Amino acid sequence: MFEQLHVRGQMPAETATPREWFCSAALCAYLQLPRDLAAALPWQPAGSLKQFEAACERLGVPAPPSTSNTDPGFLRWLEAHADSQAATWVRHMQRIRSANRTAKVFAYSGQPVVRLNFGRQPVDWPEPSPALIAEVLAEVPPAFEVHRDTGLSASEVLPGLFRPGELVCTGRNTEQAMVRPLEETLADADRLQFIVVNPMRDRAALNYRGRPSPRCQNNTGLRRHLVAELDDLTLTKVHQALLISRLATFAPLALVVDSGGKSLHAWFRVSDLTVRDQVRFFCVACLLGADPTRWDICGWLRMPGGLRVVEGVPTVRQRIIHLSPEACLVGFVSPQRPADRPPAR
């Protein structure tokens, strides 16, 4: 889907297409990260283990047997010297290696040069880029109105996000997950707080502890949606809407939910993207300030049109402030509400 880059390590030009901007922004961040980290190391080249061992000797700290997180000896060394400068150097070296590997994925998209287990495990996501955020806030027009309330309820929009008969995982709270067919879920969806944005495989499956669990990665189907949650307290919801509008040029924006708190949750349909392009998309979302933990394929998100229930705080409706029927999975067409019709309660 995305063309290979012709100019690597440079920010996209003003004439760049959305696809070129998309790849270039993410690649630029991954190329800059190793440089920044290498500058913090007291030796060059940054990946030299001999130089690292010599630096440890000068520091009076024994060098670790390796710098791999899969080596029990290294993990014991790291625990014993967690507060030392040497441990900080190791973390920098690990992030440099990770960033260099990931940068190759962007630059050579046709070659499987790195194994990232795209659908499940997290990547070394980039930090938010103040320069990119400022550029978007200054130049991008809003694609939707932040203060608008579509008045739509969860039971009205879920049929556009899941197919008939698909299993949907929901919860009144984060501790009680229920997996039910879509048709059963619609009965009480308006009163629930949480949902998993991707369809489930079965009522339960074995989790990483080997125990049956309704909400776990092993029980979650292919990724259909990615949610960009912009919860930076320095960004107003108007600012968040502009960042979401920029992301909507890379993947179809299905809906936007006001969480009832300080953030907007933007649902993007990514089922038509390759897993490699899903990673690219989410990297750009992280550059623009999205919460990287939302990559979790079975993570809890706020139910669109559901109820936010926080002890000691009045119950709040998680309003659906934007809906794009053409971006929904099954060509969903919402019933038109008269302007004077109150939103769902």
Tell me what pLDDT residue 25 has.
57
Tell me what pLDDT residue 48 has.
85
Decide if pLDDT at 333 tops 60: no
Tell me what pLDDT residue 339 has.
38
Tell me what pLDDT residue 94 has.
80
Burial class (CB in 10 A: 0-12, 13-18, 19+), 234: exposed
Decide if pLDDT at 23 tops 80: no
Highest mean pLDDT: which range of 111-120, 135-144, 326-335: 135-144
Q: What is the mean pLDDT of residues 45-62?
A: 89
In degrees, rounded to 5, the angle at the alpha carbon of residue 74 between the alpha carbons of residues 69 and 77 is 135
3-state helix, strand, coil in the chain (%, to 5): 35, 15, 50
The pLDDT mean for the chain works out to 82
Q: How many CA atoms, within 13 angstroms, populate the side-chain half-sphere of residue 144? A: 27
Q: What does pTM read for this prediction?
A: 0.68
Domain boundaries, the chain: 18-115, 135-327
In the numeric block, the tokens 């690990």 are attached to 94
- Confidence class for position 47, pLDDT limits 50, 70, 90: confident
Tell me what pLDDT residue 12 has.
43
- Confidence class for position 311, pLDDT limits 50, 70, 90: confident
pLDDT per residue as tens digits for the range 247-302: 999 999 999 999 988 999 999 999 999 888 888 899 899 989 999 999 999 999 99
Top pLDDT among 296 and 22 is at 296
- Confidence class for position 327, pLDDT limits 50, 70, 90: confident
Tell me what pLDDT residue 131 has.
86
Residues 6+ apart with CB under 8 A from 96: 33, 34, 37, 38, 46, 47
Cis before 45 (ω within 30): yes
Decide if pLDDT at 177 tops 80: yes
Decide if pLDDT at 22 tops 80: no
The C-alpha atoms of residue 162 and residue 181 are separated, in whole angstroms, by 10
Q: What is the mean pLDDT of residues 225-241?
A: 93
The C-alpha atoms of residue 94 and residue 81 are separated, in whole angstroms, by 16
In degrees, rounded to 5, the angle at the alpha carbon of residue 225 between the alpha carbons of residues 223 and 230 is 130
Q: At what angle do helices 130-139 and 237-247 cross, to 10 degrees?
A: 90
Q: For residue 168, what is the enclosing H or E element?
A: strand 167-173
Tokens of 209: 């502890």
Tell me what pLDDT residue 275 has.
85
In the chain, the percentage of residues whose pLDDT exceeds 70 is: 77
The C-alpha atoms of residue 166 and residue 344 are separated, in whole angstroms, by 25
Tell me what pLDDT residue 336 has.
46
304 closest CA partner among 287, 321, 290: 321
| 191 to 86, 171, 324: CA distances (angstroms) | 51, 10, 23
Burial class (CB in 10 A: 0-12, 13-18, 19+), 96: buried
Least confident of 194-198, 239-243, 293-297, 326-330: 326-330
Decide if pLDDT at 201 tops 90: yes
Q: How many CA atoms, within 13 angstroms, populate the side-chain half-sphere of residue 285? A: 31
The C-alpha atoms of residue 123 and residue 257 are separated, in whole angstroms, by 26
The answer to whether 138 and 243 have CB atoms below 8 angstroms apart is: no
Tell me what pLDDT residue 116 has.
38
- Confidence class for position 244, pLDDT limits 50, 70, 90: very high
Top pLDDT among 42 and 343 is at 42
The answer to whether 159 and 332 have CB atoms below 8 angstroms apart is: yes
| β 225-230/253-258 pair status | unpaired
The C-alpha atoms of residue 163 and residue 196 are separated, in whole angstroms, by 14
The C-alpha atoms of residue 267 and residue 162 are separated, in whole angstroms, by 13
Decide if pLDDT at 337 tops 60: no
Least confident of 107-111, 146-150, 313-317, 319-323: 107-111
Tell me the torsion sign for CA atoms 136, 141, 142, 143.
negative
The C-alpha atoms of residue 264 and residue 236 are separated, in whole angstroms, by 10
The C-alpha atoms of residue 228 and residue 67 are separated, in whole angstroms, by 33
